[in-house]
Amino acid sequence: MCKKILFLTILIVSGFFLLPDAAKAAAEILRPDAQGSEMAPWGLSQYPSEGNRWDKVDDVLPDELTTFIVTVYDGDGAYYRDLYNLPNHSGIGSINKVTIYIRFDGSPDPYRTYYKPSLKTNGQNWDGSETSWTSWEWHTASQALIKNPITNQPWTWEEIDALEIGASLKSGPNYSAKVTQIYAEIDYTVPPCQSHNVSGWAWSNMYVPPTDEQTQSDSGFAMKLMGTRLGQKKTINNGHVPKISFYMYKGGSPAGNITFTIRRTSNDSIIVSKVWGDASTLPTSPTWESVIFDSQPLINEQIYLLAEWSGSGGFVILKASGSDVKANENAVAYSSSYGNWSGYDIAYKIEYLSPPHDETIGWISFSCKNPEAPAPYDFGVDINGVSGLFSGHAWSENIGWIDFAPAGPYPASPNYSACLDFPGNGQACDGIGNYKIGGWARALNYGGGWDGWIKLRGTAQDGSPYGIDLNQQSGELSGFAWSDAVIGWISFSGNNYQVKTISPNQPPDKPTEASPTTWDNCIFLDRSIPTFYWTYIDPDDVPAGTDPQTAYILEVDEKSASFNPPIFHYVSGPTDSHFYTLNVDWLNWNTEYKWRVGVKDSHDNWSATSTPKEFKTPHEAYPYSGFSWDPQDPNQGEVVIFTPDDPGLEYLWTITEGVEKATFVDDTGPTSENPHIIFGSWVNKIKLQVTENSYSCTSAEYKISAALPLPEYREVPPIIWLQKAMASLIDFFHTF
């Protein structure tokens, strides 16, 4: 029978974690460490009978007939299934496949036995392919699962942490089916080293205390009904115990102090004791309740681990396990003497004190690119420049990965993972102070009583505050992190080490209106066009242009609406423009609207959306001052007729150049709707002002060129020229 062992092909050399020498596939082997959600109530048994079924199949090296689970053969030909919990994963990367291995006892006909690998994931049980071995020898079978068989999607690490594995066994009346080893191999690829915006080293003198525990519980023992003391009888070998816990709650309305005590079984004398508190403060559902003793004497004997209460009112209830009982210990109850409950364990946790030497966490690397110890595989920590949230993993060769974005629920306040508070609003940790870091990280290789949680800001047990701060100018992190469940701290800076980040780029400030909305009311017929203006301010845009605006999103909605969704949503392309002209035809007259804008900087960080600003359209359309004329290219002295695009209004035609030789004719004038004008100059300019009610628009000046008329030629018959010539000749001779 073997203890729980987590074996990874990427680690174990003298207790230290080692990573692969290059970016490549890696494998992590997970073996049963507790009973799962299903244990066949009949049809399966175990050998030897002591202990639990899961520890009969958790062998690193198969012990075959020494420990195994076995069918109770009765000839019914049915399958019987057991499932077992696994420890949490320690690897990072993309999962390639999960392979389940079972080692079983072969048997030929007519004694054939059958086996299936089994698992539970996403709340559903699954059995693999049936296998058997037709000779009298032990055989290992496996089934590889590239995808999760329930979701048909690639495996996730969250699914690995929740995975249960086991086996289904079937035998006939002549021979029993035996399984001596079950494990899962997680094959994954470690990605190559990438750049991360946090780098450097931290140092920790934390060490993880060894623990002893029984965390299974399916029953409840009530003080008052069963006595004034409840607990566990067990042996402690050369251990100092600073902390014990029980899984407990209250029934009714109990009152009076509860005391946690360790007593000698030899004479019932107290070794160490501490008052937990009044029973009235217990919750009404089970929680782990703890005390830390004021002294930790050496214990090397059999003891009673007790919760003691003799108050009044209701009941103090300790959870217990009747299906998973540890060897050589059991639950006890005391009234006038101790009574053994040999078929039960009280749920408890003992934390032992260890000397802080080689077990310390030690150096913690925040980037695979650290020059002191570069790695070809990827790991590192990043800080998001908008949310302030950390992501990624740091690495300690003594405890493995430390996750800076662990999922909740968290053990205590605050309710968020590692987070940097920027100036302004919007971060999960907003309010802890600008450039201060708080929240939670977690060591992935937790277990043995340590839950792995590391708090980055808070108050230590001695009342002193601790936390991590960021120097905005240098990007250096300083200060301490702490964990109540382990002894010591993590320091982020020292004489010869430092955790740094690229000075985090901050998002732009929330835009404000730079100037009031302007209107173009006269450019288009029956349309008024507003233009909106906003500021762009970014703490990193110093000097201007260092971190400019690169895009914006502008939305428009009716005044009474909530932008859900807006009636207009525009996402710009790359631009540093700080205004937008809303050239649309759907705005209603005499209606109130509002607009807002968000801006993006050159690091893809978006600002918060501006506070909505209201605007109102005109009561009606402005008159349109466009016009045309005919002919388009007149001659001087030719009548030109003008026609407005918006008829039936008030007009004022103004000739701004060539007025000296221009004349309104045909009983028209400057206020006529269709004036007739004769131009006498080569270059002429004219504009139109149109008025309707209180609104007026004036056009641009239009140039009209009037050319001189072409010369007029008349044809003369040739005989006339001849007559004139002859008459002239006769007159010449008559003079003599």
Does 484 map to a domain? Answer: yes
How large is the average pLDDT for residues 279-299?
Answer: 92
Residue 324 lies in a domain: yes
Reference 528, options 619, 595, 647; nearest CA is: 619
User: What is the CATH number for 20?
Assistant: 2.60.120.260
* Domain stops at, among 443, 469, 501: 501
Residues 319 and 172 in one domain: no
> Same structural domain for residues 168 and 220?
no
- pLDDT exceeds 60 at position 3: no
Please state, in angstroms and rounded to a whole number, the distance separating the CA atoms of residues 166 and 306: 35
Mean pLDDT of the 456-460 span: 91
Domain match, 389 and 331 both:
no
Please give the residue that has the higher pLDDT: either 148 or 74: 148
Instruction: Give a yes or no: residue 541 inside a domain.
Output: yes
| CATH at 341 | 2.60.120
Q: Which domain does 554 fall in, by range?
A: 518-616
What pLDDT score was predicted for residue 17? 38
Average pLDDT value for the chain: 88
Helix ranges (DSSP H) in 136-220: 157-161
Length of the chain, in residues: 736
Region 463-490: mean pLDDT is: 84
Position 362 in a domain: no
| 4: pLDDT strictly greater than 60 | no
- Asked if residue 334 has pLDDT above 80, the reply is yes
Same domain, 482 and 423: yes
Residues linked to residue 254 through DSSP beta bridges, in sequence order: none
Which amino acid belongs to residue 634?
A: P
| Res 470: pLDDT | 94
Please enumerate in sequence order all residues whose Cβ is within 8 A of that of 726, keeping only pairs 6 or more positions apart, or say none.
Answer: none
**491-511: burial string, b at 16+ Cβ within 10 Å, e else:** bbbeeeebbbbeebbbbbbbb
Q: Do 124 and 244 reside in the same domain of the chain?
A: no
Q: Which two tokens stand for residue 497?
A: 């080490």
Q: Which of 351, 385, 408 is the last residue of a domain?
A: 351
Tell me the per-residue pLDDT of 661-701, one tens digit each, with 9 for 90 and over. Answer: 999 999 999 999 999 999 999 999 999 999 999 999 999 99
pTM above 0.85, yes or no: no
* Domain CATH code at residue 596: 2.60.40.10
Residue 334 lies in a domain: yes
Looking at the structure, do residues 428 and 522 belong to the same domain, yes or no? no
Q: Which of 501, 536, 558 is the last residue of a domain?
A: 501
**Would you call 462 helix, strand, or coil by DSSP?**
coil
- Please give the Cα distance from 36 to 40 (Å, whole number): 11
Residue identified by tokens 């946690």 is 260
- Beta carbons of 436 and 421 less than 8 angstroms apart: yes
Answer for the pair 485, 453: CB distance below 8 angstroms, yes or no. yes
The number of folded domains in the chain is 4
330 and 230 belong to one structural domain: yes
Which of 168, 36, 161, 184 is CA-nearest to residue 100?
184
Which pLDDT tens digit goes with each residue over 94-132? 999 999 999 999 888 888 889 999 999 999 999 999 998
pLDDT at 22: 43
Token representation of residue 658: 């060539």
Same domain, 338 and 390: no
pLDDT value at residue 11? 32
Closest CA to 366 of 456, 282, 492: 492
pLDDT digits 0-9 by tens, 180-229: 999 999 999 888 888 899 999 999 887 666 778 898 888 899 998 899 99
Residues 156 and 288 in one domain: no
Residues 259 and 169 in one domain: no
158 and 30 within one domain? yes
| 153 and 43 housed in the same domain | yes
d(CA 386, CA 540): 13
Q: Where are the beta strands (DSSP E) in 86-228?
A: 94-105, 113-121, 124-127, 138-145, 164-171, 178-189, 198-207, 211-214, 219-223
Residue 136 clears pLDDT 60, i.e. is over it: yes
Query: 365 lies in a domain?
Result: no
Mean pLDDT of 583-612: 94
pLDDT tens profile 372-427: 888 888 899 999 877 899 999 999 887 788 999 999 899 999 999 999 998 766 78
Residue 628 lies in a domain: no
Is residue 5 over pLDDT 50?
Answer: no
Tell me, yes or no, whether 358 lies in a domain: no
